[in-house]
Each structure stands twice: as C-alpha cells, then as structure tokens.
C-alpha cells in the first residue's frame, strides 16, 4: 500500500509540474498527462529510493528552483558579456570539486544543475568528486572551486536529498 501511495503521489506531483510549466488546465491535456505520469511513476520509481516528501523539503525545493533560475540568469549575463567584448576573456579548464551530498539522486541533481548553468559543464563524477569544465577557471584549488561552483547548490540539495 505504501508503494502505491508513493507512486500516486509522484504521479500527482508530475501532473502538477506539467500544469505549472505549461499553464494548461484543459481536461484532455491533464488526462493524458495523468496517464503518462502514472505509467512513469509505476515503471520508473522504487519507493525505497524516493526521498521522503515533507513540507520542509517542498519549501526548500521551491526555493531551490528560484536559486537555480537566478544562477542561470547570472551565468547567461556573464557568458553574454564575454561574447560582446572585443577580446573574449576565457581561461577554460576542468576543475575537480567535492560534494557533501551522499544521495545518488542529490548528486545527479547537482551535476545537472551545474550543467544547466552556462559556463560550466559537469564532465564526470567519481564518488564525491565531480569534474567540471569551467569557462573561466578562477582557481584550481579544490576547496575554492567547490565554494565557487557547488556550495550554493548544495545548501538547498542537502536539505532536499540529505
């Protein structure tokens, strides 16, 4: 019964995200999305791996979406400002950063969030070390690079995923 409820909750969350993202409340759209969400939650979720959903985690998730949005906008302006300059200031390279996240799902979200931010690209993860291609390597020191690239994301993801 607990697995069924977890999958039903996941499907409802997916439908809610769809409605918010598309703005569509048309009955046929919601019905098709509901069926698809039920299939996805039935075939691709395991309740033991799903993070426990609490009001605190939901609030931090909402805050994280806003944090990520702002980080993406800032990075877009940074990359755009580099493009319009006469001499493009680049110092590309791959740096290693360490994550405190222990959850595999949390680490995946972190790597994807870094990749969504223009100017950075997650290349590989080995244990708690993430290799990131950075458009302008400000430091090769692992702790400083971690603070610059990862720390802001981790603040939220630690609460959400543990």
Name residues of the chain where pLDDT drops below 50.
none
**Bridge partners (DSSP) listed for residue 134:** 93, 120
Give the span between the Cα atoms of 48 and 50, in whole angstroms.
6
pLDDT of residue 5: 79
pLDDT of residue 12: 87
Among 93, 90, 126, 91, which Cα is nearest to 111's? Answer: 126
Can you give the residue ranges of every domain in the chain? 2-44, 55-161
Write out pLDDT tens, residues 100-127. Answer: 999 888 999 999 999 999 999 999 999 9
Q: 127 in the Ramachandran plot: left (φ > 0), alpha (ψ -120 to 50) or beta?
A: left
The sheet carrying 120-126 orders its strands as: 93-98, 129-134, 120-126
**Helix locations, 23-150, DSSP H:** 27-44, 55-84, 104-116, 142-149
pLDDT of residue 77: 95
């Amino acid at each position: 019964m607990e697995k069924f409820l977890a999958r039903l909750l996941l499907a409802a969350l997916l439908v809610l995200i769809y409605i918010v993202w598309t703005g569509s409340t048309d009955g046929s759209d919601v019905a098709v999305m509901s069926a698809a969400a039920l299939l996805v939650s039935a075939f691709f979720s395991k309740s033991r791996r799903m993070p426990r959903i609490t009001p605190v985690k939901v609030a931090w998730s909402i805050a994280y979406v806003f944090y990520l949005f702002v980080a993406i906008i800032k990075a877009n302006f940074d990359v755009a400002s580099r493009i319009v300059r006469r001499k493009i200031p680049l110092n590309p390279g791959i740096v290693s950063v360490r994550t405190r996240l222990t959850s595999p799902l949390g680490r995946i979200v972190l790597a994807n969030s870094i990749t969504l931010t223009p100017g950075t690209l997650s290349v590989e993860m080995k244990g708690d070390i993430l290799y990131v291609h950075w458009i302008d390597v400000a430091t090769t020191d692992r702790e400083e690079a971690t603070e610059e690239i990862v720390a802001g994301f981790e603040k939220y993801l630690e609460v959400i995923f543990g």
